[in-house]
Structure 1
Amino acid sequence: FRTSDSSGPYKPDWQSLDTRLIPKWYDEAKIGIFLHWGVFSVPSFRSEWFWWDLDGARDPSCVEFMKDNYRPGFTYQDFAPMFTTEFFDPNQWAEIFTKSGARLLFIFVLFFVSVVVSLFLL
């Protein structure tokens, strides 16, 4: 795991942000994969923001999806025990990502409001 040696604070403008150091390995990588994976994968509807749109009925399509596919009273939290990663094969993923030519892999695993971020150099 590598990080940059940049330091802040930065001003809220591009000139200030452009003073940050970009690690050579990052600049040379060219292709990266950003993977978002979490409980939202269970219903496979919309995006990782499904819970936000469903909570408080912010998006009628989310509410309708739940009514059409789940029992009354079923909540987003009820999806959590179903996120079993049963078919997750890290070796298969590594092979696919390596064959893609990607040099960076960022995995964001989302559990409600908690986020686990991993960076891998391929």
Structure 2
Amino acid sequence: MTRLVFLVASLALLGLANTQYQPTWESLDTRPLPTWYDGAKIGIFIHWGVFSVPSFGSAWFWEDWQGSQSQSYVEFMQKNYRPNFTYPDFAPMFTAEFYNPEEWASIFEASGARYVVLTSKHHEGFTNWPSRYSWNWNSMDVGPKRDLLGELTL
């Protein structure tokens, strides 16, 4: 199942690689919906990373806490973490100890899902694969010490 998902996603991307779009909603909205996607009906999207550690809010935890300094996020951090705790301090706590990609793939297949999308890089730059461009801020260098994306696509 995982090889099929990876192959389908790769082929879909290759088919659009030569198409030029402008950075506008009007241009992007002209992209055709892939036939396989429309026919699949059920898919699974996984958004998982360092922001999962505090289990509070959303994937935009860092922005809500440090950027906009949302009062509920600031209070959450004051109540649950030591003074001067930083967002990167969460990374070693992102251990993925229950991550079993073979089991996940079996569950996905049994669910009837026709595709799976794992968000592999997040807006704060953390990648769920070993990346030389995201040195010391990826799942191989810190936290799980594993290639989370690679294990799911094998």
Query: Is TM (by shorter chain) over 0.5?
Result: yes
- 1:67 match: secondary structure: helix
Taking the TM superposition and a 5 Å limit, the aligned residue runs for 1:55-74 are 55-56=66-67, 58-74=69-85
Residue deviations 1:55-101, cap 9 Å, x none? 14520111100111111111111000111111101111111111211
Q: In the TM superposition, what are the counterparts of 1:33-72 in structure 2 within 5 Å? A: 33-56=44-67, 58-72=69-83
Aligned residue number for residue 24 of structure 1: 35
Contact 2:49 2:128 in 1 (8 A): no
1:13 aligned partner: 26
Q: Of 1, 7, 12, which aligns to 1:3?
A: 12
Question: Identity of aligned pairs, percent?
Answer: 48
Q: Do the aligned partners of 1:54 and 1:62 also contact (CA within 8 Å) in 2? A: yes
Greater helix share, structure number: 2
Q: Could you say which residue in structure 2 is the equivalent of 1:101? A: 112
> Aligned partners of 1:30, 1:57: CA distance in 2, in Å?
37
Could you tell me how far 1:22 is from its partner in structure 2?
Answer: 3.2
Q: RMSD across aligned C-alpha pairs, in angstroms?
A: 2.7
Question: 2:91 matched to which residue of 1?
Answer: 80
**How many residues in Structure 1 have an aligned counterpart in Structure 2?**
118
- 1:13 shift after superposition: 2.4
Q: 2:125 aligns with which of 101, 113, 121?
A: 113
Instruction: Choose between structure 1 and 2: higher strand proportion.
Output: 1
TM-score normalised by length of structure 2? 0.65
Contact 1:36 1:110 in 2 (8 A): no
Show CA shifts across 1:29-66 (max 9, x none). 11111110000111111111000111145201111001
Query: Where do 5+ consecutive residues of structure 1 fail to align?
Result: none
Q: Rate the CA distance shift 1:12–1:36 in 2: closer, same or farther, 3 A.
A: closer
Q: Following the alignment from structure 2 to structure 1, what is the Cα–Cα distance between the partners of residues 12 and 113?
A: 18
Tell me the amino acid that sits aligned with residue 59 of structure 2: E
Deviations 1:4-33 (A, max 9, x none): 52412256427x734x34332222111111
Distance (whole Å) between structure 1 residues aligned to residue 97 and residue 120 of structure 2:
15
